[in-house]
Structures are given as C-alpha cells and as structure tokens.
C-alpha cells in the first residue's frame, strides 16, 4: 500500500472512531438518563433522591432498565440504517408496543400522544398525518426520540434542509407547531454541542438562524416568541429550581433540560439534577443525558452506569448501525 493510501485509510478509520464515540456518547447518555429516571417517574419533587442507578419503583423494573425514550430512538436508528420509508418507522413503533427494541422484551411505558399516533396509523392514516395537531398534543414524545438525527445533520449547514427533516420526523407523532419548534431547537442545540461548542455559544450562535426560519411561518414565530425565546436570554439560567417545571409538556421539558445542562459542570451532575426535578423523570433525564454527553463527551459518562444498562448489546448494535449509516455511499 502506498504511503498516501495508508494515510487516507488511517484518516477514515480515525474519523469513524470519532463518530462512533459521539454516537455512543449521545445514545449512552440518553439511555443512562432514561434508566436513572424510570424508577421515580411521576413522583413529586423532593419526595426522593436519586444518586445512582436504582431498580423497581414506579414500573417495578430492574436497575438499568430504560423505557420508550431509548426504544423509539433505537427504532429511528434502525429505520435510518434500513433506509425504509415512514411506514417502516411507524411499523417499528407498532412493534414496540409488543416488546420490540425493549430491554426485557416488554413495553411498560408509552406516551399518550405517541400511542394515539400509532392508533391513527393502524387505522389507515398516512404517517405524515398521524401526529396530533391540537394544543393538548404537545407532549415530549417526539423530543425524546429524535437525537439520532443530530449525527446525520451534523455537517449539513443548510438550516432549511435540516429543519425540514426534523419537522418530518416530529410530525409522525406530534404535529402541532409548538412541538415542531421545540424539536428544531433541541436537535440544533445538540448538533452545536457535538461540534465542540459551549452551550452559551450554541445559544448565541444559532438564535439568529432559528429566528430567521421561524419568521417565515407565523405559527412558528408565535410559538417561539411565546414559549421558547427566553431560553436564549442569559437570565434564563438565573431561574430558581422552584421556577423550573418538570412535566411531560414539551415546553417544560425543553426548558428543564437546557436549564439543567446550563447550571451544572459535568455529565453526572446534569443528569442527576434533571432526574431529581421529579415528574417526567425518565424523559427529562434522557434528553438532558444527550445534551450533557455531547457537551462533556463519552469519557465523562460513568463507566459503571454504562455497564449497568439493561440489554447493552442491543444499544451497541444500534450505535454501530448509526455509524454504518453515516458511511453509506
């Protein structure tokens, strides 16, 4: 092999390793936050304190068990790897309800809006129209499962293309403009962190791009100004913990996870801050986990937490599938 060819091959292999580390960071981060939150989901703030992986609790599941947040994210990875259409992805969501891509072969948790979207799909509605469009349909069930898109879109600097793809994958379960705006903000922030920026720099750098895009659609701009604009103000991180809601409402969830990452200094501190807010602990923990893992990178994740993840073999398999997707011709 010529020296130049060897150099090019080595460069490709190093690139693959770096991408795999990023993939594992966000997917392990997601799964860890999810698993930390599962035992205490729906419990009131300060009625418990999580400092490590625990078992049983709300769903009576063993330590390290993750929920629909991780399962549906793995379904998205599998769909991207297979290059199937949206029907293929919805079929995976249907299969999840009977235990597909779960840690122990059973579905014990699924969001109301996602469940309604699956029922709509089974009744013959096209995937693009399955997501609820009413104000009451703004749960966090799309936000929790779309982090894999960040790896596909990381090097795409056409914001219109990126945001359109994020909308496409949000609408299959959540079709209201509020949920679409939340998904766009979340995935782009995740991308910014994967590009080795600080959270403050990401918020400052991307706010004009968000505003330029949202202004094109009055419904988006109204949602952004009313519900999300404060995230981009420095005073947002001066909020007291008592002012941070931790419900399954998409606005509360997005604000909670960004606040948790913004006021902490490491992965472990961020996810524990998130889970101990109470309420929708698994999803807030999971999404915080993706952002914090992207910011602090794979080596910041506690090895014992990674090792305790249930069915880690499945998680690793999907991480490698996402890597393979990035390198398809």
pLDDT for position 2? 59
| Per-residue pLDDT tens digits for 211-222 | 999 999 999 999
The reply to whether 280 sits in an annotated binding site is yes
The reply to whether 44 falls in a domain is yes
CA angle (246 as vertex; 240, 186 as ends), nearest 5 = 95
Domain-embedded: residue 13: no
**Would you state the pLDDT for residue 14?**
84
In this prediction, residue 9 carries a pLDDT of 66
316 annotated binding-site participant? no
46 is in an annotated binding site: no
Cα angle 43-61-255, degrees, rounded to a multiple of 5: 40
Confidence (pLDDT) at 15: 84
The SS3 of residue 320 is: helix
Segments in the chain below pLDDT 50:
1
Q: Can you give the pTM of this predicted structure?
A: 0.95
> Which CATH number is 265's domain given?
1.10.4080.10
Kindly state whether residue 124 falls inside one of the protein's structural domains: yes
Assess contact for 139 and 250: CB atoms under 8 A.
Answer: yes
Note whether residue 60 is domain-resident: yes
Model confidence pLDDT, tens digit, residues 276-304: 999 999 999 999 999 999 999 999 999 99
Residues 6+ apart with CB under 8 A from 133: 175, 176
Contacts of 275 (CB under 8 A, 6+ apart): 33, 36, 37, 40, 50, 281, 284, 285
Which helix (H) or strand (E) element contains residue 195?
A: none
Angle at 163 (CA atoms; ends 161, 165), nearest 5 degrees: 70
Q: Does 68 show up as a binding residue in the annotation?
A: yes
Predicted confidence at residue 4, as pLDDT, reads 59
Q: How many domains does the chain have?
A: 1
246 assigned binding-site residue? no
Dmax of the chain from CA atoms? Answer: 65
Does 97 map to a domain?
yes
Closest CA to 140 of 109, 172, 173: 173
Cα(156)–Cα(141) distance, integer angstroms: 25
In angstroms, the CA 140 to CA 173 distance is 10
Secondary structure of residue 265 in the 3-state scheme? coil
What is the pLDDT at residue 12?
75
Give domain status of residue 138, yes or no: yes
Query: In terms of residue numbers, what domain contains 298?
Result: 21-326
Residue 10 in domain = no
Q: What is the pLDDT of residue 204?
A: 97
State the pLDDT at residue 13. 81
**Of residues 230, 279, 235, the one with CA closest to residue 47:** 279
User: How open is the CA angle 138-186-46, to the nearest 5 degrees?
Assistant: 70
Looking at the domain assignment, is residue 41 inside a domain?
A: yes
282 known member of a binding site = yes
């Amino acid at each position: 092999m010529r020296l130049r060819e060897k150099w090019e091959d080595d460069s490709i292999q190093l690139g693959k390793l770096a991408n795999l580390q990023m993939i594992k960071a966000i997917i392990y981060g997601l799964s860890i936050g999810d698993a930390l939150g599962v035992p205490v989901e729906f419990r009131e703030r300060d009625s418990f304190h999580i400092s490590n992986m625990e078992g049983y609790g709300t769903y009576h599941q063993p330590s390290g068990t993750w929920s629909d947040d991780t399962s549906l994210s793995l379904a998205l990875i599998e769909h991207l790897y297979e290059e199937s259409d949206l029907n293929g992805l919805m079929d995976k969501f249907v299969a999840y309800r009977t235990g597909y891509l779960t840690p122990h072969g059973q579905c014990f948790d699924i969001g109301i809006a996602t469940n309604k979207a699956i029922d709509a799909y089974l009744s013959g509605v096209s995937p693009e129209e399955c997501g609820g469009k009413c104000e009451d349909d703004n749960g966090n069930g799309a936000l929790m499962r779309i982090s894999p898109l960040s790896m596909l879109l990381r090097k795409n600097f056409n914001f219109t293309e990126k945001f359109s793809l994020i909308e496409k994958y949000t609408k299959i379960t959540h079709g209201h403009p509020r949920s679409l705006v939340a998904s766009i903000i979340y995935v782009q922030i995740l991308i910014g962190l994967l590009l080795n920026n600080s959270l403050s720099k990401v918020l400052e750098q991307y706010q004009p791009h968000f505003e330029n895009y949202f202004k094109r659609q009055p419904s988006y701009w109204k949602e952004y100004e009313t519900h999300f604009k404060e995230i981009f103000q420095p005073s947002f991180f001066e909020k007291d913990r008592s002012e941070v809601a931790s419900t399954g409402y998409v606005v509360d969830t997005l604000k909670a996870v960004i606040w948790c990452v913004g006021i902490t200094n490491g992965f472990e501190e961020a996810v524990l801050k998130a889970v101990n807010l109470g309420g929708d602990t698994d999803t807030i923990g999971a999404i915080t986990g993706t952002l914090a893992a992207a910011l602090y990178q794979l080596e910041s994740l506690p090895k014992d937490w990674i090792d305790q993840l249930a069915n880690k073999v499945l998680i690793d398999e999907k991480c490698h599938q996402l890597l393979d997707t990035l390198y398809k011709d």
